[in-house]
Chain A
């Protein structure tokens, strides 16, 4: 085998137009190291002047083999890796994984744990949208928005640190409930954020929503139709921006979402601007959910009482022999899950985050597959980018809100 793997134009003949073979159009690499590709994404572009004729994404630079690695760990220990998939939606990844495990085990989750899960995932959704808003605005040269967004994101990360001790890789949600109850300062911290944040969203909107420079860069750019979007498996804000009202929190409620009142914002234009409006509105809706969940936060335990799957509280270990045995068994060999397979999905900030989990009856997952939303959303990029300028391509990538850790797994 040669040391350097070479690809010639002939190998790519079926992907580019004939004009590329004759040299009439230019083939250009964008990335993997490029500030506007939001990670390590390589795009092979076929250009006619500055117009994109073909766009061929090349992914896998951040492939970490998490699916393979999870097969070698017990169910509890494999969870630590889920944080590293979509690193802007760590709590959401934990939730997706824990819900799949709970579905497999038929495990109950106490109402208090469910409500806290909802609060944290919604805060995480806002944090993720803030990173998107900041970087997407930066892509179209709005520097100040980026600084404001990251300032507010910091407040959310502080709340995550308060409950879990970690800013990003929390692993706070565990199969059967939570790691432990929230500290007493939690409610005040979230209330402070709820009070401050609506005004901040108004500020972002004042900077962008009617800004003629922003409108010039986003209106009518990267359009896609509803039919094409569904056929390409596009989900999340991208799908809602083409007028399909599909949100798993509403359509197939989980973790008690049916108790909360909120709207699913949709637009019909399907361009970069529509995606911006949908996501900004989603932040406001998330605030509503957090407020309702906090107002009726039930008291009670935060972990299931099923000792065969969920470790006992620390206080019991010193006084109960059974608790000590359970603790020891759960943290050494883990639990044996019943044989079977489940598919469970949650609405991540980017779309449908699904987990396919199969068990062979042992303490390790036999197969874990992550149906990550960015993977399918990125597939729509060539269609969106066709016929636009390179500068618009940058805005389109920003509007898809890809996270490469989510794509490459």
Chain B
């Protein structure tokens, strides 16, 4: 762990009663869902100006927690990086929105909703962002199948063409 990061991590560990882990130099803290807004505010106060990434991982078929929401912070002034992980259960997955603290979380949380179906509570404008507005399902979930197009050959062209989903005539 970088020397400058140690006091910050210790402070966070005490404030939130968690244990930091390190893997290949990346320091991560697992923050309980109820305290993530408080933790993000704390990060902002500690001089982490940039919310670099906000995304999630789906551990389906595991249910509790099914998702880990990932926050990656960067401090431009101190040249430091730190990550948060927030476990979220599979039934009615939500996280509190941090868009009022880091403004770019606005689109990132919309992407989180669009791709994983994890709702950001208190978000000012929670709509789908990448998929069409009337899309069903959340593509980056592990139980969402990866689609493919059936290849047509001369011998079965018509047979496949009948059930192929595209505009005909």
Contacts and interface: CB of A to CB of B under 8 A. Distances in A.
Interface of A: 1, 5, 7, 14-15, 59-60, 63, 65, 67-69, 71-72, 103-104, 106, 230-235, 244, 246, 251-252, 340-343, 345, 352, 354, 356, 358, 366-367, 369, 371, 375-376, 379, 408-409
A247 to B, nearest CB: 10
B39 interface: no
Nearest to B57: A367
Contacts of B53: 343, 354, 356, 369, 371
A231 B102 contact: yes
Contacts of A60: 128-132
Interface stretch (B9-17, B75-83, B88-96): B75-83
Given A14-B124, A14-B125, A379 B103 contact: yes
Closest 4 A/B residue pairs (Cβ): A233-B104, A60-B130, A371-B53, A230-B49
Nearest to A58: B129
B133 A7 contact: yes
Given A69-B146, A354-B72, A5 B132 contact: yes
A1 B133 CA distance: 12
Interface of B: 23-26, 28, 49-53, 55, 57-58, 70, 72, 74, 76, 79, 81, 83, 102-104, 106-107, 115, 124-125, 128-134, 139-140, 144, 146
A232 B132 contact: no
Contacts, number: 100
Given A67-B115, A68-B144, A376-B104, 9 more contacts: A5-B133, A104-B24, A231-B103, A232-B103, A251-B76, A341-B57, A356-B70, A369-B70, A408-B130
A409 B140 CA distance: 12
Contacts of A5: 132-134
B139 to A, nearest CB: 6
B76 A246 contact: yes
A63 B49 contact: no
A52 to B, nearest CB: 18
A7 to B, nearest CB: 7
Given A235-B50, A343-B81, A356 B72 contact: yes
A112 to B, nearest CB: 24
B129 A233 contact: no
B132 A252 contact: no
A233 B102 contact: yes
A230 B50 contact: yes
Contacts of B52: 233, 343, 345, 352, 354, 371
B83 A59 contact: no
Contact of A65 (B72, B104, B125, B139): B139
A68 B76 contact: no
A40 to B, nearest CB: 12
Given A246-B76, A342-B23, A366-B57, A379 B140 contact: no
Contact of B106 (A230, A244, A379): A379
Contacts of A371: 52-53, 55, 72
A408 B107 CA distance: 12
A106 B76 contact: no
A345 B25 CA distance: 13
A360 to B, nearest CB: 9
10 contacts: A1-B134, A67-B115, A233-B104, A342-B24, A352-B50, A356-B53, A356-B70, A358-B57, A371-B53, A409-B130
Contacts of B76: 230, 244, 246, 251
B25 to A, nearest CB: 8
B19 to A, nearest CB: 16
B168 to A, nearest CB: 15
Contacts of A376: 104, 107
A160 B82 CA distance: 36
